[in-house]
Amino acid sequence: MPDGLDFETAAAGHLFFATAWHMAVTLGNIHAGQDVLVNAAGSGVGSSAIQIAKVHGANVIASAGSDEKLTRAKELGADGVINYTSEDLAEQAVALSGGKGPDL
């Protein structure tokens, strides 16, 4: 376990990835080339979903309520980001997906 990571946090970490995997892969049938919108990108499930979508070859659009969270989303691989407190989420999601809107 990395220094500074307490046992409780480490024990819960896999739940974020399991939840994101179930949503994106099991239910969403994610695949390469899709435009995927990840809301709450700053959360544990959201940041996990970004990474899972990138591994599957998707174009990831991440939304969050602060620039700090969006910076982290970009570091995790998000291709485009939307600050829903200062931008129109639907309008920007359509724009960042080539005008058609996200697939997932």
Give pLDDT, residue 77: 98
CATH topology (fold) of 15-96: Rossmann fold (3.40.50)
Per-residue pLDDT of the chain (104 residues; tens, 9 = 90+): 678 878 888 888 789 999 999 999 999 999 999 999 999 999 999 999 999 999 999 999 999 999 999 999 999 999 999 999 999 999 999 999 999 999 99
At residue 10, the pLDDT reads 80
Indicate the domain borders of the chain.
15-96
DSSP the chain: --TT--HHHHHHHHHHHHHHHIIIIIIT---TT-EEEESSTTSHHHHHHHHHHHHTTPEEEEEESSHHHHHHHHHHT-SEEEETTTS-HHHHHHHHTTTS----
pLDDT at 6: 86
pTM, rounded to two decimals: 0.91
